[in-house]
Structures are given as structure tokens and as C-alpha cells.
């Protein structure tokens, strides 16, 4: 290799290497954040907003906390407080409920029983920065995007959550 060619190769590397060194590896997908329930759209098109339905959902570093309050059609108050752990990747969402208290949601009265699940994991489908999956045992399908997510219980309602943190 001639001296001139060696200098050209070194100059090329000197220009390209810093560009490549500053490139960050692709970020892992994440649903971490704190979300606020802003609107519930019932199957008949009725729009329900706070204070009739109020909720906060935090997912941070593999741990989650959900607090929900809803005024039911019969005048009772329904509520849920759940603490759990989760993992998330672009292929799979897994969830383990550590503790839950539910009141007048799935059935009348208070229960501390988490929904039964055969598999704690569910497949994730994605398109761009939108991630869709059905958390095990909940009967809900969620669709997460950069500004929040929707949670749908078929033939009942669609909840709209805004990311606030």
C-alpha cells in the first residue's frame, strides 16, 4: 500500500469512526410511564369522564400500580387497586399480580383474588411505535403509543389513557 493510499484510508476512518461512535444502539421498546384515564366510551357511544370514572396507572422498571374508581350504573362504586410486576419486549408482555383489591367490578362485593391465568405472558404485535397486546386474565386488549394507550373490553367500552409522565 502506498503512503498516499494509507493516508486516505486513515483519513476516511477518522471521519467515519466518530460518526459511528456517537450513534446510540436502538432503544428497547418501553411502555413505562404514568397514565391517567381521561375518557371511557361505552359500546352505545356514551362518553364517560371524571369524576364518574377516575384512574391512574403507573408502569416503572418492571413494577406496576393501578388505581381505579368508577360509579356503576346501579349507583354503587366500583374500585380496584392492584400492585404487580411485569416484563415487556416487542415480542411479549408478561404480568404477575402481587396484590389486588377489587370492589363491585366483575361481581358484587370485595375480592382480593386476582384473575386466574394459565400463562402469565401474551404476545405483542407492533406497528411503528404502537404496541398491542391482551394482558393475561383481564379480558382487555390494549394499544400503547407514544402519548398514551387505549384499553378495550369488547362490547363494553374503550378507555382512553394519556401519558402524564
pLDDT in tens, 22-81: 555 557 889 999 999 999 999 999 999 999 999 999 999 999 999 999 999 899 999 999
User: What is the tens place of the pLDDT at every residue in 114-153?
Assistant: 988 999 999 999 998 999 999 998 899 999 999 999 999 9
Q: Tell me what the mean pLDDT of segment 95-100 comes to.
A: 97
Q: Number of structural domains, the chain?
A: 1
Q: Is residue 8 part of a domain?
A: no
Q: Is residue 1 part of a domain?
A: no
Q: Tell me what the mean pLDDT of segment 88-94 comes to.
A: 96
Q: How much is the pLDDT for 53? A: 98
Q: Is residue 15 part of a domain?
A: no
Give me the residues paired with residue 103 across strands.
79, 110
Q: Is residue 142 part of a domain?
A: yes
Q: Is residue 25 part of a domain?
A: no
Would you place residue 12 in the very low, low, confident or very high pLDDT band (cuts 50, 70, 90)? very low
Q: Tell me what the mean pLDDT of segment 80-89 comes to.
A: 98
Alpha-carbon distance values, 95 to 55, 86, 117, 123, 151 (Å):
19, 4, 10, 12, 16
Sign of the dihedral defined by the CA atoms of residues 15, 17, 23, 26, in that order: positive
Q: How much is the pLDDT for 73? A: 86
Q: Is residue 2 part of a domain?
A: no
Q: Is residue 123 part of a domain?
A: yes
Alpha-carbon distance values, 162 to 7, 74, 89, 125, 159 (Å):
55, 28, 21, 21, 10
User: Could you write out the DSSP letters of every residue in 71-117?
Assistant: E-TTS-EEEEEEEEEEEE-SSEEEEEEEEEEEESSSSSSEE-PPPP-
Q: Is residue 13 part of a domain?
A: no
Query: Does residue 13 surpass a pLDDT of 60?
Result: no
Q: Which domain holds residue 98?
A: 33-163
User: Could you write out the DSSP letters of every residue in 118-142?
Assistant: S-SEEE-EEETTEEEE--TTS--EE
Quick check: 71 and 53 in contact, CB under 8 A?
A: yes
Amino acid at each position: 500500500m502506498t503512503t498516499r493510499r494509507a493516508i486516505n484510508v486513515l483519513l476516511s476512518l477518522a471521519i467515519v469512526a466518530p460518526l459511528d461512535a456517537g450513534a446510540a444502539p436502538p432503544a428497547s421498546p418501553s411502555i413505562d410511564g404514568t397514565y391517567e384515564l381521561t375518557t371511557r366510551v361505552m359500546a352505545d357511544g356514551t362518553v364517560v369522564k371524571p369524576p364518574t370514572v377516575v384512574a391512574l396507572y403507573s408502569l416503572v422498571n418492571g413494577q406496576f400500580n393501578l388505581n381505579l374508581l368508577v360509579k356503576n350504573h346501579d349507583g354503587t362504586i366500583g374500585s380496584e387497586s392492584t400492585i404487580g410486576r411485569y416484563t415487556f419486549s416487542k415480542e411479549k408482555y408478561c404480568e404477575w399480580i402481587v396484590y389486588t383489591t377489587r370492589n363491585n367490578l366483575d361481581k358484587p362485593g370485595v375480592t382480593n383474588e386476582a384473575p386466574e391465568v394459565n400463562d402469565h405472558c401474551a404476545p405483542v404485535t407492533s406497528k411503528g411505535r404502537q404496541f398491542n397486546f391482551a394482558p393475561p386474565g383481564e379480558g382487555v386488549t390494549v394499544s400503547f403509543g407514544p402519548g398514551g394507550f387505549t384499553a378495550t373490553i369488547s362490547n363494553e367500552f374503550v378507555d382512553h389513557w394519556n401519558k402524564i409522565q
